[in-house]
Amino acid sequence: MRRMLHHCNTAIRRTPRGEIVYAPHIALELELQLDEWYGYFPEPVRFQHLDADTSDSAFGYLSVEPLGNFLRAQYYCCKLSIYWPAVYQSIQDNTATPEVLKDCQGFFDAYIQVMPNIRICIRNCIVNRWTLYAIIFIISMAF
C-alpha cells in the first residue's frame, strides 16, 4: 500500500517546457494495480464497493471488522491520490477534456466513499487512528 501511495504521485508528467500536466494513462494503470491489490484480500477483510449515488443509509452496511474498514479507507485514499492531479489540472487550466472530467468524477466518487468510512475507522481502529486523522487533514487541505 505504501508503494502504491508513493506511485500515485506519478499520475503527472513534465512537458519539454517544464510544465506539469495530468497523465490519464498513468492514472488508469495505477487504478488497475489498486484493483489487483484489492483482489488479493481474503474474504474476512474484503470490503464492499458502494456506488457514489448510494444513500447514506447504505453506509450502515460498512464492515465493522477494523482491518477491513482500514483497508477500505486506504483503498479510497489511493483513489483520491490517483485522481487528484486531474482535479488540479482542470483547476489550473480552467477547462478539462472529457477524459479529465471522468477522472475528476473518480476523485469525487472516492471522496464520497472515504469520508463515512474514515469516521467509522476512527472509532473502531485505534491502532491506525493517527494515520486516519492525518488523512482527514490532508484531504481538507486539498480543498
Q: Does residue 71 lie in a domain region?
A: yes
* pLDDT at position 89 over 70: yes
Which residues, other chains included, contact 98 with Cβ-Cβ below 8 Å and sequence gap of 6+? none
Only one residue has cell 471522468, namely 102
**pLDDT, tens digit, 9 for 90 and up, residues 90-108:** 888 888 889 999 999 999 9
The SS3 call for residue 13 is strand
Q: Does residue 19 lie in a domain region?
A: yes
**Domain extent for 65:** 2-45+60-142
Q: Which of 35, 105, 44, 45 is nearest to 75 (CA)?
A: 35
24-51 mean pLDDT: 85
Q: Does residue 50 lie in a domain region?
A: no
pTM: 0.75
How many domains is the chain built from?
Answer: 1
Least confidently predicted of 54-63, 70-79, 87-96, 112-121: 54-63
**pLDDT, tens digit, 9 for 90 and up, residues 1-24:** 566 555 555 556 677 887 777 888
